[in-house]
Structure 1
Amino acid sequence: MKKLILLIALLTTFYFAEAQQYSLFGTKTMFDAFENPSQKSFTLDSSRKFSSNFFLPNFGINAANRGEADNVIRKLAQEGIINTQDLPLGTGSINHLYQNSNIYVATFRMFLSYKYQKELGFAWQIRSDAQIDYTNESLAIFDSYRRFPVNTPFRGLFNSSGYQQTYHQFSVTYRENYNKRLAFGVKASLLSGILYNKIDITDSYLYNNSLTNTLDIGLASTYNSNYLYGNEITKRTFLPFKNPGLSMSFSTNYTTKKGLFLMANVKDLGFIWWRKNAQNSIINTTKRINTAPGQNNIDDEITDIFQSAQEQKKFVAPINAKADIYISKAYGFYKPALIVSKNLFYKGGEVALVNTLTYKNFSGSVAPLYNFNNIFMVGLQGKYQSPNFEIFMGTDNFLASAYTAKGIITNDGNTGYATSGNGASFYMGVGIKFGNVVNHPQFSDTMPGINDNGGESFFKRLFSVFSRK
């Protein structure tokens, strides 16, 4: 159990060493267009026809923890050690830790047609999501079972649950204007799972018997994974096309006559079929471990509880689909925006208020954000964006990220900010456009789609099935 919970904690805690880079919503950057498929990213008379990141960095990473174990997780992340001596036991407290990352390895996007403002894009992403709800005792046992009082039975101390999944996403996006105010977009993706862990400990028991020098551990749990004990995680683990899956995203936006911009998304509605080394463990057992002096096999004995219940079994798991609503309006150089995002299959969600100030091609954003895990964050972003070049950098959790970075640099696990929680966040990206300029028809005879005989609206044809004939 120790190694299992530690595995999940390490995957969640150190993936940066659940926000969505909200300050980039509504910016018409390449990132915005891939994440919100109804958004356009080309500007007539200014932009060139193609865009790509040319394998340059384009990624976002996030991790946060909230609960009585904040100081323990902080020292684990910043010093690499576990020290639970000051962590209270027996309080029934539940800690919440979550993580996500979104790495655009390669992107390519093209302007298809002047009529309906059609755009087509291709992307290769590597994504990761994780969330775990865990007790103080689940961390304390990493330190030593001797932290627990002797000759006293304990039940429910290790009842925890959580998941972690990492996968490739190969996607095609398409968007077009339905009319001058309304637009639609879709994103179809082929998925390939890399790593998956999900645990649900519903009952647990611990009895440290000093008279017989034994440790009784009982566990009722389910555990799904594609990682077998004894196998190492190597570069081959990250090769695609082992665990297939599919997902779809749907997006629409509408601009009112008074300039209010409304956007709604259903993102990454899909699943992965985990079949390579997939296992399902159903555990309901009690084991007695000899703790007499000279015995050093306690960790192996605990791990054996899971190994003995290991059963090869394929399974299907949903990815972390989300529903978003975005509202904004520009007032000269200032644009406020409200974003509400909710996970559909897993717990969690966020509300963000993005405040953006723009001067020529430069902009800066401040984004207070509340995560439904009772985590409050403040994000900062800087961006330079011209019609054919964009670069941005930011964080969704400025204070916690600054203190975490300082603690890692100084190797001081006591560095932290009490009210910001414990975590880190950073993202950056580059986009470059190239090719012919997408001019209006009166300025160019090479305008894409201007002489298209088949340039009808895809969504008009799609919605025509609901119209009266």
Structure 2
Amino acid sequence: MKKLLLFISFLFISVTLNAQTFSQYNTETLFDSFENPSQRSFIRDSSNMYASNFFIPNFGGNAFLRGNAQRSITTRLFDERYNNSDLRIGEARFNHVNINASVYLLMLKMYSSLKGDQEIGFSIKYKAEARGLITDETIALFNGAANFNTQQYDNLINSKGDYQNYYQVGFSYREKVSRRVALGAKLNFLMGVQHQRLTIHESHLAFDPAGENADVALRATYYRSYFPGKRDIIDFTPSLRNPGASISLGGSVKDESGLIWQANVKDFGFIHWSKRSARFDINDVRRFSGLKSPDREENVKQTAKEFINSGDSTIASYITPTNGVAELSASKQFWLNYDHTLKLFPSLIIQKQLFYQGFTGALVNHVQYNNLVLTLSASYNDLRMLNVGGQFMFKTPNAEVYIGSERLLPTARLAGRQSEYRSSYVGGDVFFGVAFKFGPPIESPLNASRIPMGEEKGFLGRFFDKMFGKKPKGEL
């Protein structure tokens, strides 16, 4: 089933929602500072000057399937059989599929100046994004003709999809430009690895009386990026054949009431796929045979692969967007005891996708006692999916390690191999991270043995003063 799930996900994919580790908001971890550029990761008089994950991958991955095909996929995954009892053949009902993976291979940051708490950083990240709309009939076809009651069907396998993966080399800068305002930016150079996009515009399905074979007619468009040779691991290493760029911008303001407002635009960018890439305009008929044989799933899979690579091809470059989002959050911290060892830090977050459909609201609540942080999160999106997540983190000024999930219950059910469980969706989510700080300590001027003062203000601070009219020293 793992091969089948990947095949479906990579070839029949379209618009849904973005993977987002909401639980990391306002944690001031190294990961948080790279994902939300205005966030700090150093604390003066407590932290050391440099921070890194030392090539220990900080990863997050999730997948979900929402629709009638949940039981079909989970029984095939865990029980080596298809239970297609929930599929509604003849209605072209869509199933929403989303798979995301994100891995920070390297994160390195430096506290560069006490003036403005300036931070500069460098990162290398790998991302994979897959989105899809798959009809019930497309799923049923992998089990042969068993669930089809008539011989002729029109426009019932009009699935569509998109998949891409790439590397991101990022350079970040963060500065506290005034007592209440912090700004940050992250510029990314992208190196695309692979992209596929399939859209089936029209389809016709005709079974023979015995159900052994089916003639499938498709009118479809398939984009495929150039990929050298076989899919060996060396081909997934970074290269310059598919360049791109993206940017993340962030700002945070703390008002007089102590409420912290944060706004971000993340991963707004594009990838230019090689001029050796191809577009296939498919208008053809193929026979799917052996639909009652024990190898029917493999037969369908192989014929489908041949189908989408047929048709007239055009060799040319093309551009795809990255999965950018815009976010706005409001948060406030509350100390629950006199010694300031117990803290409550709730955040309300709204997120909108920039290039795809998708709107999500989230409530995140951190409870911190000394160096231990427990997080409970809840999110709801425009697919009417309610997610409850949790995180455990151990954090000191110079070390941090955390693990969690944005979808606790579905992840537990998936880990428990509950193939027949039916809910609003099936899926899983997990994230993990670790980072350490090293080097000389960051010390304030009054008791410092070494002061990295730098310039009076950084670039963002000077620009902020010009925009809002702060007068130079000595001027009335």
TM-score relative to the length of structure 1: 0.89
Contact 1:336–1:355 (CA<8 Å) still a contact in 2?
yes
Distance 1:293 1:386 in 2: 61
SS of the counterpart of 1:158?
A: coil
Match of 1:343 among 319, 332, 353: 353
Contact 1:5–1:138 (CA<8 Å) still a contact in 2?
no
Q: How far does the alpha carbon of each residue in 1:322-379 deviate from its partner, in whole angstroms, 9 at most, with x for none?
A: 1011110112222211111111012223211012211111111111111322221100
Contact 1:401–1:424 (CA<8 Å) still a contact in 2?
yes
Distance 2:330 2:40 in 1: 16
Match of 1:413 among 407, 413, 419: 419
Distance 2:329 2:27 in 1: 12
Distance 2:176 2:308 in 1: 54
- Structure 2 CA distance for partners of 1:322 and 1:43, relative to 1, 3 Å: same
- Structure 2 CA distance for partners of 1:360 and 1:420, relative to 1, 3 Å: farther
Q: How far does the alpha carbon of each residue in 1:40-94 deviate from its partner, in whole angstroms, 9 at most, with x for none?
A: 1100100000000111231111111111111112224434654436533113321
Residue aligning to 1:398: 408
Aligned residue identity for 2:332: K
The structural deviation recorded for 1:389 is: 0.6
| Structure 2: gaps of 5 or more residues | 336-342, 472-476
- Work out whether 1:364 is the aligned partner of 2:370: no
In the comparison of the two structures, how many residue pairs are matched? 452
Aligned residue identity for 1:354: V
Tell which deviates more after alignment, 170-179 or 370-379.
Answer: 370-379
Distance 1:218 1:462 in 2: 60
Distance 1:102 1:433 in 2: 23
Contact 2:90–2:153 (CA<8 Å) still a contact in 1?
no
The structural deviation recorded for 1:303 is: 3.6
SS of the counterpart of 1:147?
A: coil
Aligned residue identity for 2:369: Y
Distance 2:210 2:119 in 1: 73
- Structure 2 CA distance for partners of 1:420 and 1:146, relative to 1, 3 Å: closer
Residue aligning to 2:339: none
Match of 2:384 among 374, 399, 404: 374
Contact 2:166–2:194 (CA<8 Å) still a contact in 1?
yes
Distance 1:156 1:5 in 2: 22
The structural deviation recorded for 1:314 is: 1.6
Tell which deviates more after alignment, 433-442 or 274-283.
Answer: 274-283
SS of the counterpart of 1:240?
A: coil
Distance 1:79 1:202 in 2: 34
SS of the counterpart of 1:72?
A: helix
Distance 2:109 2:123 in 1: 8
Among all aligned residue pairs of Structure 1 and Structure 2, give the percentage whose two residues are the same amino acid. Answer: 33
The structural deviation recorded for 1:145 is: 3.5
Alignment root-mean-square deviation, CA = 2.8
Aligned residue identity for 1:106: L
- Work out whether 1:305 is the aligned partner of 2:307: yes
- Structure 2 CA distance for partners of 1:293 and 1:81, relative to 1, 3 Å: closer
- Structure 2 CA distance for partners of 1:350 and 1:77, relative to 1, 3 Å: farther
Residue aligning to 1:279: 278
The structural deviation recorded for 1:445 is: 3.8
Contact 1:174–1:185 (CA<8 Å) still a contact in 2?
yes
- Structure 2 CA distance for partners of 1:9 and 1:444, relative to 1, 3 Å: same
Residue aligning to 1:100: 100
Tell which deviates more after alignment, 61-70 or 268-277.
Answer: 268-277
Question: Where do residues 191-230 of structure 1 align in structure 2 (5 Å cutoff)?
Answer: 191-210=190-209, 215-226=214-225
Question: Where do residues 79-118 of structure 1 align in structure 2 (5 Å cutoff)?
Answer: 79=79, 82-84=82-84, 87-118=87-118
Distance 1:99 1:211 in 2: 37
Question: Where do residues 177-326 of structure 1 align in structure 2 (5 Å cutoff)?
Answer: 177-210=176-209, 215-226=214-225, 232-241=230-239, 242-275=241-274, 278-287=277-286, 300-309=302-311, 310-326=313-329
SS of the counterpart of 2:43?
A: coil
